[in-house]
Amino acid sequence: MTVIVIYHNPDCGTSRNTLALIRNSGIEPHVVEYLKTPPSRALLVEMIDQAGLTPRELLREKGTPYAQLGLGDDALTDDALIDAMVMYPILINRPLVVTPIGVKLCRPSEAVLDILPDAQRGAFAKEDGEQVIDAAGQRVI
């Protein structure tokens, strides 16, 4: 059985679309609402590393205490940025998806297609109506 984990915010359209794309491949992922159940510092560091990101690349600015905390300061170390994300999980950009193929920050949501082990099972359109997968299960470019 394929285990996929999505670090999800149900209030985020990109996160909802990513979750729906995972389900469209026939897999019911383990959904972690990371604002309620944030990853440990060690797990966060591991996912950042596996995704090939820097902590700064995972930082979310919009709708967060980013500015108030002065996180735009380039002098801040990776450890300081990770500490901020652990203290304020809203600073973690979403959705992060973990599959046997890899870890990816899925922005835009169709980025998840690069790490899903199973093909799409049918047509899929995002919440805004943008067609992403056609009736044959193929990605629309």
Question: How many domains is the chain partitioned into structurally?
Answer: 2
Calpha distance 114→69 (Å, rounded) = 34
Contact 119, 64 (CB under 8 A): no
Joined together, the tokens standing for residue 41 give: 């510092």
40 with 1, same domain? no
Q: Are residues 86 and 39 part of one domain?
A: yes
Which residue, chain included where needed, has tokens 């909802």?
Answer: 16
Give the CATH number for residue 42: 3.40.30.10
73 and 43 share one domain: yes
Q: Which domain holds residue 48?
A: 35-93
The predicted model scores a pTM of: 0.95
| Burial (0-12, 13-18, 19+ Cβ within 10 Å), 71 | buried
Tokens 């998840």 map to which residue? 112
Q: How confident is the prediction along the chain (141 residues), in pLDDT tens digits per residue?
A: 779 999 999 999 999 999 999 999 999 999 999 999 999 999 999 999 999 999 999 999 999 999 999 999 999 999 999 999 999 999 999 999 999 999 999 999 999 999 999 999 999 999 999 999 999 999 998
Residues 13 and 45 in one domain: no
CB 35 within 8 A of CB 10: no
**With contact defined as beta carbons under 8 Å apart, do 92 and 63 qualify?**
no
- 98 is a domain residue: no
Amino acid identity for residue 98 in this structure: V
Both 65 and 114 in a single domain? no
Residue 106 annotated among the catalytic residues of the structure: no
3 state SS of 6: strand
Residue in 6, 12, 97, 113 annotated catalytic: 12
